[in-house]
Amino acid sequence: MSRNVLKVKERKDRYKVCYMPGDDSGFDMMEGALVVLLSMDLPIDWVRADLGWCMWEKSVNKFGQGDPRCNTVPPETIDKIRSSDATLMAAITSKSGVKGFKSAILQMRQLFDLYINLRPAKTLPDLGSPLKGDPKIDLVLFRENTEDLYSAVEFHPLPEEMFNLHKGMERFRKMGDVAVSWRVFSSVGCERIIRAAFEYAKSTGRTKVHCCNKANVIRETDGMMKRIFLEVAKEYEQYGITGIEENADATAMWLIKNPQDYQVIVTSNVFGDILSDEASQLTGGLGFAPSGNIGENTAIFEPCSGSVPKYAHQYRVNPSAMLLTSKMMLEYLGLDQAGQKIEWAINEVLKENRPKTLTYDILRDFRNDPDWERNAASTIEMATAIAQKINPSLTDSTLEDIKAKAREMCDWTKTFGFED
Ligand SMILES: NC(=O)C1=CN([C@@H]2O[C@H](COP(=O)(O)OP(=O)(O)OC[C@H]3O[C@@H](n4cnc5c(N)ncnc54)[C@H](O)[C@@H]3O)[C@@H](O)[C@H]2O)C=CC1
Ligand SMILES: CC(C)CC(=O)C(=O)O
């Protein structure tokens, strides 16, 4: 029988976890999450690594613009990820228009072949959904994570021979400046993400898997995904699981109209990126949206959001996305109870609704508080309330020690990588 890829390869008494604060508000998110995680007495040894725009700048300062060693991921970080049981990563910045710049997370997804991007979207009972009728949403999206338009196979300017590659290119010859990004799918890539989605449905008692594609227009790539999906779906009929394929644009619409109809969605990289952000907005917004990049040998867990640069180092962001991401990581490590406690505690804090325990996004978007800016809790205040729910016997002085430790672990004035 094949191994469950959504769980760590080897169960241990203690785990080594690489944590990466990322960029901008990523540091605040990670610090908030660590306030909770450090208060839980988990069997985890933490190792810090850095990546993202901060590392790009450091490498440019060290090697000079244009040097091939400039990167968003230093070799030290790759070693730390490789030698850890799992990695917890906060949000990073991805700049367009910077020559030589490659997104750190895209590189890691490909380097470690993290082919599953697991993105759950679930309404928390005491937050609810902004949709009419407050639907109960509980879906899990399997986004293919290593192929498609994010493979970074791009051409600009176009070599002359590319105009001869396909008759469809003929009409672009007279258009002047032309750029091309290749959308590459493989049958192996399609089949493994589709099987992961069906296996998940089978192991969690879910009865429907939707495959969202545009095979009606993008015939070769999405056509391949649709064909393989329908073949694999037949194998799972015996388990009472129905495979439904639909156009991704229709999914975008149906998700708003009837989100409860979805249990498991499997889709390609770009559609998955977009549909998961949409699903997150139906269940609490990016402040509550977790994800995991998972492969056969390791996994990197990160919130779905970007680095919220406008609030960088101001401790305004909601720690929940980072904490629900930590929950996914704990479940990967087999520490399911600890993970569930985190989700329970977030919901309890929402339920209690005490002053200075909820961040701005919750007050503004879910509580209609006209004075949301003044009443908002900081990232650390909300994280502290969650930690106290999990462990009500925490004394003030222990909490202060934990907060100081989390702050030191996420010191953004110190970064590690590209050292001599
Ligand atoms: N996985 C990745 O590497 C991603 C990186 N990015 C990068 O992040 C940077 C910023 O991108 P944006 O488009 O501004 O997206 P963003 O996700 O950083 O922010 C969008 C909006 O979502 C809200 N938000 C996100 N996380 C939140 C949280 N934890 N608490 C409260 N509110 C939250 C904020 O209102 C923010 O204005 C860019 O450089 C972008 O390329 C963006 C998305 C994913
Ligand atoms: C900036 C990109 C890496 C975006 C993306 O792929 C993501 O949101 O996961």
The complex scores an ipTM of 0.97
Does residue 206 sit in the same domain as residue 236? yes
In a domain, 368, yes or no: yes
Among 182, 203, 227, the domain boundary falls at: 182
Does residue 215 sit in the same domain as residue 93? no
Does residue 137 sit in the same domain as residue 263? yes
Q: State which amino acid sits at residue 116.
A: I
Ligand 2 atom closest to the CA of 150, numbered from 1: 6
Does residue 172 sit in the same domain as residue 193? no
Say if ligand 1 is within 6 A of residue 320 CB. Answer: no
- What residues contact residue 369 under an 8 Å CB cut-off, 6+ apart? 363, 375
Can you give the pLDDT at residue 144? 98
In a domain, 124, yes or no: no
Does residue 266 sit in the same domain as residue 134? yes
Does residue 89 sit in the same domain as residue 38? yes
For ligand 2, atom 6, name the residue with the nearest CA: 273
Percent above pLDDT 70 for the chain: 100
* CATH number for the domain harbouring residue 222: 3.40.50
Q: Which two tokens stand for residue 66?
A: 């244009």
Say if ligand 2 is within 6 A of residue 103 CB. Answer: yes
- Condensed to tens digits (0 to 9), the pLDDT of residues 388-412 reads 999 999 999 999 999 999 999 999 9
Residue 1 has pLDDT above 70, yes or no: no
Q: Is 253 exposed, middle or buried (0-12, 13-18, 19+ CB in 10 A)?
A: exposed
Task: Give mean pLDDT, residues 248-271.
Answer: 98
Name the domain count of the chain.
Answer: 3
CA of 206 to the centre of ligand 2 (A): 28
CA of 26 to the centre of ligand 1 (A): 10
For residue 178, give its domain range: 150-182
In a domain, 301, yes or no: no
Task: Give mean pLDDT, residues 184-205.
Answer: 98
In a domain, 120, yes or no: no
Does residue 248 sit in the same domain as residue 134? yes
In a domain, 255, yes or no: yes
Does residue 316 sit in the same domain as residue 328? yes
* Pick from 387, 357, 348: nearest CA to 375: 357
Can you give the pLDDT at residue 89? 98
In a domain, 105, yes or no: yes
Does residue 361 sit in the same domain as residue 263? no
Say if ligand 2 is within 6 A of residue 274 CB. Answer: no
Ligand 2 atom closest to the CA of 302, numbered from 1: 9
- Asked whether the bond before 392 is cis by omega within 30 degrees of 0, the reply is no
Does residue 340 sit in the same domain as residue 267? no
Say if ligand 1 is within 6 A of residue 378 CB. Answer: no
In a domain, 193, yes or no: yes
For ligand 1, atom 32, name the residue with the nearest CA: 287
- Condensed to tens digits (0 to 9), the pLDDT of residues 67-113 reads 999 999 999 999 999 999 999 999 999 888 888 899 999 999 999 99
Rounded distance between C-alpha atoms, residue 404 and residue 217, angstroms? 55
Say if ligand 1 is within 6 A of residue 94 CB. Answer: yes
* CATH number for the domain harbouring residue 348: 3.40.718.10
CA of 283 to the centre of ligand 2 (A): 20
Does residue 23 sit in the same domain as residue 88? yes
In a domain, 82, yes or no: yes
Rounded distance between C-alpha atoms, residue 103 and residue 56, angstroms? 10
CA of 92 to the centre of ligand 1 (A): 8
Does residue 142 sit in the same domain as residue 268? yes
